[in-house]
Structure 1
């Protein structure tokens, strides 16, 4: 398959992944800036392999569960969830909040596993498999803290700052504001954000460090309503969070897999060559 055609197929899949109810053919063609006939050929090919289906009533095209199945199968075979779930469950029980595992898939940071500690009342939750916002989430900030300021800024500018109205009232809008949060995370040893990712929420995160390279290859976080996850609660939970991160860092197979996924070792070898 030609590189240009493959890129269009992947763009199409990513577009449909963001619209669970599907999209009409014309909207797909307009979004991808390709002729309607070209979009129809791509969709027909994906339909033939059962990765996409067309709703017979609305005519909309949507992804089947086949891509999700592949992703889940890959995670299962990697051992990431099996190895980490008991650690996440324990931290969720200790905190009574949502605990998530994010992995570095350079230059992205993706949530791949979670445990919910809140049994009643206010619950904060988020979809797995989504890319973390580097500038507003504790997950993103703590990873940026493991990098140089130059690389951190480069990654955030590549992803983009969250537009006004799509993040919390304390979300950083400038590079100095972003670097201030990053510096605080470096000094503290973990990230803490309050109403940056979304209004009424707070979160904290610590990096999972590869035992040999010293690179951050993922992180573990606690997130919840800001009315409950206060600074006092943050201080109480910090030792538990750091212990969970240290435990995950010490698991050899998990660390090796995440290090390979992040691509950091390969990039460093190229830079030092």
Structure 2
């Protein structure tokens, strides 16, 4: 940790606290991030002074402030993301009867940005909107990778390796050759499938959101639900609606293209 800047450590604290809305004690936070307790306390004090964190008067635990979440909502509002995505997602959820999500690409990562749940009875899939999808081990991740050149797709996965995120069940792709074969199939059919990978008993179908300038996808839209009713035949039934939603999102997507991937697509 000697070469890690205070800014990076502060960002690590914010990311950790985002997963613990009940807050964490200074000692617990320092242990999890492998920080000296004095440094953790100093950085938390700075975050609290700027109203990014709050210390509970009873437990003395630190948690993120509402202001931190509000900044993200303000950004989404300013770029018109919710206004663009939500009507399309709600319509797709009602037509398919399943859970629908959209993730956006940012600096080589996918981030969940919007969701819609069908008002249906029976088994429901309600995942948290926390960490974005793992690139090699999810339908959304592989759908996005399929829109990159092979070398760029491999570079993205190599940066983290074929390592499963915390609480991730399994992956059908465990090496580069399997990944390249899977991406080729996705390009041919236009969508990706993930069955019992992120969560046992859940199947997802994902389609890339096309870029108007024919670069890598802007993100992905997916339909997911219990595997007992998300069979391959069911996937074929919902695919026209999923692909239509992806195309519609691509036509009106409000987030500007990052320069990094604009350059990759032309290299």
Please report the TM-score for the alignment, with normalisation by the length of structure 1.
Answer: 0.88
What is residue 146 of structure 2 aligned with on the other side?
A: 145
Q: Is 1:101–2:90 an aligned residue pair? A: no
Per the TM alignment, residue 58 of structure 1 is displaced from its structure 2 partner at its CA by 2.5
Per the TM alignment, residue 83 of structure 1 is displaced from its structure 2 partner at its CA by 1.1
Q: Distance in 1 between matches of 2:194 and 2:42?
A: 46
Q: Distance in 1 between matches of 2:30 and 2:170?
A: 36
What is residue 58 of structure 2 aligned with on the other side?
A: 57
Q: Distance in 2 between matches of 1:125 and 1:158?
A: 30
Unmatched runs of 5 consecutive residues or more in structure 2: none
Q: How does 1:97-246 map to 2 (within 5 A)?
A: 97-128=98-129, 130-163=131-164, 166-246=167-247
Q: Contact conserved, 1:104 with 1:258, CA < 8 A, in 2?
A: no
Q: Distance in 1 between matches of 2:158 and 2:173?
A: 12
Identify if the C-alpha distance between structure 1 residues 105 and 92 changes in structure 2 by more than 3 Å, giving closer, same or farther: same
Q: Distance in 1 between matches of 2:58 and 2:177?
A: 51
Q: Distance in 1 between matches of 2:168 and 2:33?
A: 26
Q: Distance in 1 between matches of 2:173 and 2:132?
A: 18
Q: Distance in 1 between matches of 2:265 and 2:185?
A: 26
Q: Contact conserved, 2:24 with 2:62, CA < 8 A, in 1?
A: yes
**SS of match in other structure, 2:42:** helix
Q: Using the TM superposition, name which of 175-184 and 137-146 deviates more.
A: 175-184
Q: Is 1:264–2:261 an aligned residue pair? A: yes
Identify if the C-alpha distance between structure 1 residues 170 and 25 changes in structure 2 by more than 3 Å, giving closer, same or farther: closer
Q: Contact conserved, 2:215 with 2:265, CA < 8 A, in 1?
A: no
Superposed CA deviations along residues 70-95 of structure 1, whole A, max 9, x for unmatched, are 10111011111101211111111111
Q: Distance in 1 between matches of 2:246 and 2:236?
A: 16
What is residue 72 of structure 2 aligned with on the other side?
A: 71
Q: Distance in 2 between matches of 1:128 and 1:183?
A: 29
Identify if the C-alpha distance between structure 1 residues 139 and 258 changes in structure 2 by more than 3 Å, giving closer, same or farther: farther
Q: Contact conserved, 2:142 with 2:192, CA < 8 A, in 1?
A: yes
Q: How many residues align?
A: 264
Higher helix share: 1
**SS of match in other structure, 2:114:** strand
Identify if the C-alpha distance between structure 1 residues 129 and 105 changes in structure 2 by more than 3 Å, giving closer, same or farther: farther
**SS of match in other structure, 2:5:** helix
Q: Contact conserved, 1:103 with 1:218, CA < 8 A, in 2?
A: yes
